[in-house]
Structure 1
Amino acid sequence: MPQWSDYSTGERIKILRGRDMRQSDLAEITGLTVATIQNAEQNKRLSLPTLMKLANAFNVDTSVILGQQAPRRAMAQDDRRMIRDLSRAVHDTAAGIVPGDAEAAPLDDLKQTTDRCWDLYWRGRYVEVGSLVAPFLASAAVRLREQPVGEQSGALGVLSDAYRLAAYVANLMGARDLAYAAIGHAQVAAERAADDMRVALVGSGRAWVYLRDARLPEALTLAEKSASDIEPRFSKASPEELTAYGSHVNFAAVVASRMGDKDRAADFLSQSHATGARMGQEVRAHGTLFGPVTATTQAVGINVALGQTGKALALIDSIQDVSGLTRAAQNRYAMDKAMAHADAKQWDASLDALEETLRRDPDWARHQTLPGVIVQKVGRASTARLRRVSELIGVSPGISEFLPATRKTAL
């Protein structure tokens, strides 16, 4: 498959324009003529002013158009615009710069915004979350500025939550530098608030950034520390404390599985299952959800990562109802099921789980890398359905690897 740099500049412009935008649409957005757009796409002429206008219209750096940096796969125009706005909000608020019209909302209102953002996040509506977090950061920063000295803990906590949300959205969408910056600001705010729980939550978030950046040993060390720092006494722990701890220890198991460390993964999984059993039901708190079903469904993916396909399939057979999970968690479990079936060469079962999720929730799917991995694995076998599923996620050979996801997936 060609690399992004293998295409000509004109081809890259055409790819970035995508299937839903005509040359006349791009001309209107940029203020350029259709002839100028045509010349650029045909490699006839591309002036610096034209390059800058195109980069602004596509919400990418000029280096992407010139082939020096590949675009983030499956990012549509709205995605790139949101990431750019979110980046400005993160860096500006950290520097003490906020829009002149930003208002200091009451703390209770800001906390409700936090809950709303997490709800959208776990429903897989990442672009909407990022769009909300940008003004949320500004409002939280103004609230902190106006709080009297000695009464800033609550505002700092909310600001930490906003930065952590920004980091999660950026990390999921591949904006790694922004994720590092946002999680760093979240840590500073949590430490200033002297909030041990938030410090641990941010630590786990940083471990996730490390995991996505292939810094596995560091991710495991930090994930384990974050879990141990908030380990509760089970006899006295509240459901909210158990939710935070269970989520942390489960993530530590995920990281251990990515490292191939079966013993440590098994130890963390044991603690995860024990926590879920103690809780008896799914509980949402601290921006996450955890309980016995979460522990079991996530164990499926962990066993898949460890190459323990038989254990993963046995767990799948034991799971009857996942309706209590968040939408994103249900989708992720479906991907883990599809991968387990693919590893077992149960091609039809794998495609059943994959296609159902792609059709049910295409907006969530287009921000995930696992569907493409599953299709490539299933692609070793010849199936009549493979092309249809491939088109749903845009992984057919050629330039479709770099095409933005379009409305064609919104079935």
Structure 2
Amino acid sequence: MKWNKHTTGQRIKLLRGTVTQEELAESAGLSIATIRKAEQNRGQISLPTLLRLAHALGADVSVIVGQQAPRRAMLADDRTTVRELSRTVHDTAAGIGTNREPVDFADDLAAGWDAYRAGRFAVAGQFAASCVSDAAAALAHATEDRRLTARGPLADAYRLSAYVANQFGARDLAYAAIGHAADQARQGGDPVREASVASGRSWIYLRDARLGDAEQTAEISYTSIEPSYGDRDPVLLATYGWHVTFAAVVAARQDDTAAAEDLLSQGFAVAARLGRDVVVNGTAFGPAAVTAQAVGIAVSTGKPGKALDLAESVHDWSPLHQAAQNRLQLDIALAQCATKQYDTCLDTLLTVCEGHPEWVRHQTLPGVIAQRAGYATTSRSRKIAKIIGATLG
């Protein structure tokens, strides 16, 4: 039987293998009753519980909900992109292929980030591979007085590579690339870039269900560059604001609501000082960005009504890049589902799935939402199931 034809409970049981329910419960930090309910498909499984199960089972959440098979399947073009990206990341880190004449790659790096923010991950990966190669060559040929400056773009190219790899589920490559990014940012003496890399590593930990590591690393990312009251540098403010807001997301996933709300309030305060959304080193932050994250936090902390109110409070989401808008719509759909607006939820989810199928394929949340709201046999739920590759039972 195909993996996505099993129920969620059956998949958990298959992934558990010879491990007992008691052992899984202890490893995941959950009660035995929760494990039994999950395996018997009794009730909905919360996202924090799914994350704990994923960590204990050593599998992505997307595997548990049936969106991906245990050995993650990718399209042929995706596999080609990952292979090329992996070869380039590892070769350049070893100094291989860096003796060629350097070329100007600034526009390509910007295009790579644009493709990533638009959810076109295969395209972003192609740009990332070429930019890592070009940036490594530029560093190899840089004179001594230019080497510090040359390390920054290489750190950015490695970080973009890590993000693409993480979206494809190539976790080993993501860890390797973010490690190289950290090394280049550190040697370049750029604390803002170092903070961006730390935040990126935290996100990889989060996708890998390493919540404790994600929380610790997220804290490093914002405390290391906390601005003073009088700071007005938009680069520093936007970077700090994004990182403290992401730390709030991590705290919410850890069920630490008090910490999440405190960190989020800091994010809102920084956004107010900025007054607009700005993009720094590939990351956007400002009033729209922090509100979008607040919507997700409200959903994950069990406040779907508040999430919908926050979403309605912003009338212009255009400052957000496409991938961020897509993610916001998924959080809205989850809130609609939690408030039993099932038809509206399916409409919202289907809009994202049909409008951005390439982005949706690499996300876990559509499968979670489909499991909760798509139990009814409708044309919409069938379309959604086909796009995300998951059953709704």
For normalisation by structure 2, the TM-score amounts to 0.80
1:334 to 323, 329, 333: 329
For residue 307 of structure 1, what is the aligned residue in structure 2?
A: 302
- What is the CA distance between 1:283 and its match in structure 2? 0.9
Contact 1:297 1:319 in 2 (8 A): no
Contact 2:349 2:366 in 1 (8 A): yes
- What is the CA distance between 1:384 and its match in structure 2? 4.8
The answer as to 2:116 corresponding to 1:121 is yes
Contact 1:338 1:350 in 2 (8 A): yes
SS of corresponding position for 2:279: strand
Q: Please, which moves more after superposition, 79-88 or 355-364?
A: 355-364
Contact 2:89 2:129 in 1 (8 A): yes
Contact 1:110 1:158 in 2 (8 A): no
- What is the CA distance between 1:99 and its match in structure 2? 6.9
For residue 80 of structure 1, what is the aligned residue in structure 2?
A: 79
Using a 3 Å threshold, how does the CA distance of structure 1 residues 103 and 373 change in structure 2: closer, same or farther?
A: farther
1:228-278 Cα shifts (integer Å, max 9, x gaps): 111112433222221111110111011001101000000111011111111
Contact 1:256 1:264 in 2 (8 A): yes
In the alignment, the residues of structure 1 paired with residue 336 and residue 392 of structure 2 have an alpha-carbon distance, to the nearest angstrom, of 24
For residue 338 of structure 2, what is the aligned residue in structure 1?
A: 343
For residue 175 of structure 2, what is the aligned residue in structure 1?
A: 180
SS of corresponding position for 2:105: helix
Gaps of 5+ in 2: 7-68
For residue 138 of structure 2, what is the aligned residue in structure 1?
A: 143
Corresponding residue pairs, total: 330
Using a 3 Å threshold, how does the CA distance of structure 1 residues 96 and 379 change in structure 2: closer, same or farther?
A: same
In the alignment, the residues of structure 2 paired with residue 294 and residue 355 of structure 1 have an alpha-carbon distance, to the nearest angstrom, of 23
Using a 3 Å threshold, how does the CA distance of structure 1 residues 71 and 103 change in structure 2: closer, same or farther?
A: farther
In the alignment, the residues of structure 2 paired with residue 318 and residue 291 of structure 1 have an alpha-carbon distance, to the nearest angstrom, of 15
Identity %: 48
For residue 265 of structure 2, what is the aligned residue in structure 1?
A: 270
Counterpart of 2:71, as a letter, is P
Q: Could you say what the CA RMSD is over the residues aligned between the two structures, in angstroms?
A: 2.0
For residue 57 of structure 2, what is the aligned residue in structure 1?
A: none
For residue 381 of structure 2, what is the aligned residue in structure 1?
A: 386
- What is the CA distance between 1:397 and its match in structure 2? 7.2
The answer as to 2:188 corresponding to 1:193 is yes
Q: Please, which moves more after superposition, 260-269 or 144-153?
A: 144-153
SS of corresponding position for 1:289: strand
For residue 23 of structure 1, what is the aligned residue in structure 2?
A: none
Counterpart of 1:290, as a letter, is F
List aligned pairs for 1:2-401, cutoff 5 A.
2-3=2-3, 70-73=70-73, 75-98=74-97, 102-105=100-103, 109-381=104-376, 383-396=378-391
SS of corresponding position for 1:385: helix
Counterpart of 2:196, as a letter, is L
Contact 2:98 2:140 in 1 (8 A): no
Using a 3 Å threshold, how does the CA distance of structure 1 residues 366 and 103 change in structure 2: closer, same or farther?
A: farther
For residue 66 of structure 2, what is the aligned residue in structure 1?
A: none
Counterpart of 1:156, as a letter, is R
Contact 2:211 2:250 in 1 (8 A): yes
Q: Please, which moves more after superposition, 308-317 or 77-86?
A: 308-317
For normalisation by structure 1, the TM-score amounts to 0.76
Q: Please, which moves more after superposition, 244-253 or 109-118?
A: 109-118
Counterpart of 1:221, as a letter, is Q
1:149-204 Cα shifts (integer Å, max 9, x gaps): 24201111111111111101001110000001001111111111111111111111
